[in-house]
A and B are shown apart, each in its own frame.
Chain A
């Protein structure tokens, strides 16, 4: 069953058209990887899905309900659609635990005790339980990103959007973060990832989309995209990635 439906979405910043008619269906428990060069619209697409950016035209549905356009309860939508950012974006004035419990307590209506118990369990899962009282500035990038993932998970989202979450990390820290995402995929969490980690995309994705100049140029299973790309642009892109030693 299609869980997330993106239909002919257009988006522009001023005169610059970033998305030119993107359509995509994501079923429950699917992991979709968006690949493509910088500026191809991957991040923008993710930000449109949870309404951080308004779209010009088209339609986005989550669980059958239209979530784009006017009159949508964006705050409710966002509780169902978690997001993790490239630069972690933890709140520097709050401890790790407060970062994670903020949304469950303030908008989820849970008691602090209940939220903290759940937060600690989640932090434990990513090996960050002993850092619950620490402030983000005292953590490494990889640790911060693990906390950011937990923060997004704490609201029990039905789909998780991951925007190049390893792009700002030192190479030796990338593995830890990807291991967590892999585990989430195995647990059946629906995810959309914009990523430059092609090897990772090939391993975990059920669907890979190649974006080029605001369009999904090619779409298929990892095997189709990585072993036998049909489009010339896809081949060029993968060739460049291969040449830089990242596949």
Chain B
């Protein structure tokens, strides 16, 4: 109903529902094509695995799953037929319901069929070239032989990440508060904070790691020259990520409405006390999601500490990988990083949900 004439016609003569048949035909075609693609991909997988009967049965089940989108596609045709019957009998409302249901079925068929197509594409990619890709990235025997080594080394990544995260929480807040200091007295500190953030946010963390890792030792800087490489890595990542997190804190603090300052100050709380008891606690609640984002970035950057001579999980996996001429150990590191990140994301989701129920916000 797009033209003006039709719009006017509504008043006297209700419009019949549109035909579903064209959409249904398209849906059926898409579903069939995607099922064919899935069959090809599964055949390729079958050839690569030359599997025992049990796995073959699984492949058959997967093939049947790939056929599932055909069900709603066929239903759409039934809906279209019933729409026609209702329309012929002059039952306009039931005809509309059938048409709507038919469109819904056709769209469902296309949505699921496209998902099947994407999965089939992935399977085809991993089995292409007679499975060379899979053999390069994922070999069971190398997975088993490298896992213990890599996991051992991964604790260094965890250690560096947790150490740096704890320091970043403190240093970032200090820098943010420095940057927000009021008045003439605060000006030089504000400038220093800005200079720090501008500098360390710009330097790639791999360069900071490299410079801190070797520079402090080379220059024989007291205290620092005796630190273990793990501590130097923590310092380098703290330098880099405190600059990000300071900006996150600042955004959080500035997002608190000035009326909260006025209310706290009017009660006789000092600037510092207001910041500590009223402003920062509210700001911290708001910045948890972006903070997690930066923390995940930090965790990932622990894979760079190899440049300063620390044998972390990635360095270890590369050693192993070049020994066996296969990338499976590196995949193990990648999976470990994914595994430690997901629980954190869910934990933050839960924190936010809890916060919402507690304060009664809908």
Using known A-B contacts A93-B281, A135-B360, A137-B361, determine if residue A52 contacts B269 with beta carbons closer than 8 Å: no
Instruction: Give chain A nearest CB distance to B261 CB in angstroms.
Output: 9
Contact A90 B263 (CB under 8 A): yes
With the chains together, A32 CA to B270 CA distance in Å?
Answer: 28
Q: In the complex, which residues of chain A have a beta carbon less than 8 angstroms from the beta carbon of B285? A: 93
With the chains together, A78 CA to B267 CA distance in Å?
Answer: 6
With the chains together, A51 CA to B267 CA distance in Å?
Answer: 12
B348 in contact (CB, < 8 A): no
With the chains together, A91 CA to B278 CA distance in Å?
Answer: 7
- Closest residue on chain A to residue B356 by CB atoms: A137
Contact B359 A107 (CB under 8 A): no
Contact A91 B260 (CB under 8 A): yes
B266 in contact (CB, < 8 A): yes
Contact A89 B360 (CB under 8 A): no
With the chains together, A52 CA to B281 CA distance in Å?
Answer: 22
Partner of B268, one of A92, A137, A155: A155
Q: In the complex, which residues of chain B have a beta carbon less than 8 angstroms from the beta carbon of A151? A: 267
Q: In the complex, which residues of chain A have a beta carbon less than 8 angstroms from the beta carbon of B259? A: 85, 87, 89
In A93-137, the 8 Å CB interface with B consists of 93, 102-103, 106-108, 135, 137
Using known A-B contacts A75-B269, A103-B267, A103-B268, determine if residue A92 contacts B262 with beta carbons closer than 8 Å: no
Contact A50 B359 (CB under 8 A): no
Q: In the complex, which residues of chain A have a beta carbon less than 8 angstroms from the beta carbon of B278? A: 91
In B275-327, the 8 Å CB interface with A consists of 277-278, 281-282, 285
Instruction: Give chain B nearest CB distance to A155 CB in angstroms.
Output: 6
With the chains together, A242 CA to B234 CA distance in Å?
Answer: 70
With the chains together, A46 CA to B267 CA distance in Å?
Answer: 14
Contact A79 B268 (CB under 8 A): yes
With the chains together, A83 CA to B267 CA distance in Å?
Answer: 8
With the chains together, A107 CA to B278 CA distance in Å?
Answer: 14
With the chains together, A158 CA to B260 CA distance in Å?
Answer: 23
Return the CB mask of B246-274 against A: 1 if under 8 Å, else 0. Answer: 00000000000001101111111110010
Return the CB mask of A29-70 against B: 1 if under 8 Å, else 0. Answer: 000000000000000000100101000000000000000000
- Closest residue on chain A to residue B262 by CB atoms: A52
Q: In the complex, which residues of chain B have a beta carbon less than 8 angstroms from the beta carbon of A92? A: 282, 359
With the chains together, A101 CA to B196 CA distance in Å?
Answer: 39
A76 in contact (CB, < 8 A): yes
Return the CB mask of B332-362 against A: 1 if under 8 Å, else 0. Answer: 0000000000000000000000000011110
Partner of B267, one of A76, A93, A107, A138: A107
Query: What class of interface size applies to chain A in its complex with B?
Result: 20 to 34
Using known A-B contacts A89-B259, A91-B260, A93-B285, determine if residue A82 contacts B269 with beta carbons closer than 8 Å: no
Instruction: Give chain A nearest CB distance to B32 CB in angstroms.
Output: 54
Contact B360 A82 (CB under 8 A): no
Contact B358 A135 (CB under 8 A): yes
With the chains together, A205 CA to B128 CA distance in Å?
Answer: 88
Instruction: Give chain A nearest CB distance to B80 CB in angstroms.
Output: 51
Q: In the complex, which residues of chain B have a beta carbon less than 8 angstroms from the beta carbon of A52? A: 262, 265-266
- Closest residue on chain B to residue A148 by CB atoms: B263
Instruction: Give chain B nearest CB distance to A128 CB in angstroms.
Output: 16
Instruction: Give chain B nearest CB distance to A78 CB in angstroms.
Output: 4
Instruction: Give chain B nearest CB distance to A15 CB in angstroms.
Output: 21
Using known A-B contacts A78-B267, A89-B260, determine if residue A107 contacts B273 with beta carbons closer than 8 Å: yes
Instruction: Give chain A nearest CB distance to B281 CB in angstroms.
Output: 5
With the chains together, A201 CA to B360 CA distance in Å?
Answer: 35
Partner of A78, one of B260, B268, B358: B268
Instruction: Give chain A nearest CB distance to B253 CB in angstroms.
Output: 14
Using known A-B contacts A137-B360, A137-B361, determine if residue A85 contacts B268 with beta carbons closer than 8 Å: no
Pairs A-B, 10 closest by C-beta atoms? A89-B263, A138-B360, A103-B267, A83-B266, A79-B268, A78-B268, A107-B268, A89-B259, A75-B268, A137-B359
Chain A residues with a Cβ under 8 A of chain B = 47, 50, 52, 74-76, 78-79, 82-83, 85, 87, 89-93, 102-103, 106-108, 135, 137-138, 151-152, 155
20 extra interchain contacts, Cβ-Cβ under 8 A, other than A85-B262, A91-B263? A75-B270, A78-B266, A78-B268, A79-B267, A83-B266, A85-B259, A85-B266, A87-B259, A89-B260, A91-B260, A93-B281, A93-B285, A102-B269, A103-B267, A106-B273, A106-B277, A107-B267, A135-B359, A138-B360, A151-B267
